Structure 1
Amino acid sequence: MQILVVDDKQIILDSLDELLTTHGYLVDTACNGLAASEKLQNSGYDLFIVDHLMPVMNGIQLTKQIRQHDIYAHTPVIFMTTQGKSLVESLGDSQLFSTIIDKPIDEENLLKSINALLTSNTRCQSL
């Protein structure tokens, strides 16, 4: 399973890369939404983990771009935020995300969310 992690904090990218790789996932990272957007053209991802507030292109803008690609229209997106789930839900774009998690990240809950999303994603089941 290929996961793209997008966050402007290198420490977050490194920790999630290590966590997910340890659990058998293939991980690609991007430091902002624009860098991630460019990677969409070159690889097939099974799941996205996207930070909310980033320079250049924020997580909402990136997720809208992800959803515009036919291949990714139903690919799970885990949205990370320091602003609180209720704020993100009130923005009106929460339907873009498969789940919203608060930062700092609870690694156990993140892994449970990933497992649940990937097992219910038909694209992943066919791999």
Structure 2
Amino acid sequence: MQILIVDDNNPVLEHIQSLLIERGFESVTASNGLDGLEKAQQSHYQLIIIDHLMPIMNGFQLAKNLRQNPNTAQTPILFMSTQDIGVIKNTAEAALVNALITKPIDENEFISHVYRLLDQNTQHQSL
């Protein structure tokens, strides 16, 4: 399974990538929203993990662009933010993503979301 990780913080990218690799997942990284959008359009991913606050194109802008593209419209999105998740959940943009978690990430919560979203995506594709 291929997972795209989009975050402008290199240590966070490396940490998340290592968590995924430890569990047998293949991952590709992108350093900002525009880079992530380009990579999402070039390949097929089963999950896209997106940071909220990034330069060039923030996480919600990226999620909106992904949802407007037929090739990525159904791809699950795990959204990460340093901001209060309760506040983010009350925004209209929150409907663009499948799950929200806070940063710094809790590794167990993060991996739980990854497995749940990948499982849902696999079930959706088999219908």
Query: Are residues 1:108 and 2:108 paired?
Result: yes
Partners of 1:33 and 1:100 in 2: how far apart? 17
> Does structure 2 retain, via aligned residues, the 8 Å contact 1:46–1:123?
no
Work out the CA distance in 2 between the residues paired with 1:61 and 1:123: 27
| Counterpart for residue 7 of structure 2 | 7
- Judged with a 3 Å threshold, the aligned counterparts in structure 2 of structure 1 residues 20 and 59 are, in CA distance, closer, same or farther, namely same
- Aligned residues of 2:41 and 2:71 also touching (Cα < 8 A): no
Letter in 1 for 2:113: S
Say if 2:92 is the partner of 1:89.
no
Distance 2:55 2:105 in 1: 20
Report how far residue 124 of structure 1 moved: 7.4
1:78 and 1:100 in contact (8 A); partners too: yes
Report the Cα distance in structure 1 between the residues aligned to 2:86 and 2:94, rounded to whole angstroms: 10
Could you list the runs of 5+ residues in structure 2 that have no partner in the other structure? none
**Whole-angstrom CA distance in 1 between matches of 2:47 and 2:29:** 12
SS in 1 for 2:92: coil
CA contact (8 A) 1:52 1:58 kept: yes
TM-score (norm 2): 0.93
**Structure 2 counterpart of 1:77, one-letter code:** I
Q: Comparing 71-80 with 54-63, which one deviates more in the overlay?
A: 71-80
Deviations 1:65-105 (A, max 9, x none): 11111122121100000001112112211111100000110
Residue in structure 2 matched with residue 37 of structure 1 by the alignment: 37
Tell me the amino acid that sits aligned with residue 83 of structure 1.
Answer: Q
Task: Supply the RMSD in Å over aligned alpha carbons.
Answer: 1.4
User: Do the aligned residues in 1 keep the contact of 2:4 with 2:40 (CA within 8 Å)?
Assistant: no
Q: TM-score, normalised by structure 1?
A: 0.93
Runs of 4+ displaced beyond 4 Å:
123-126
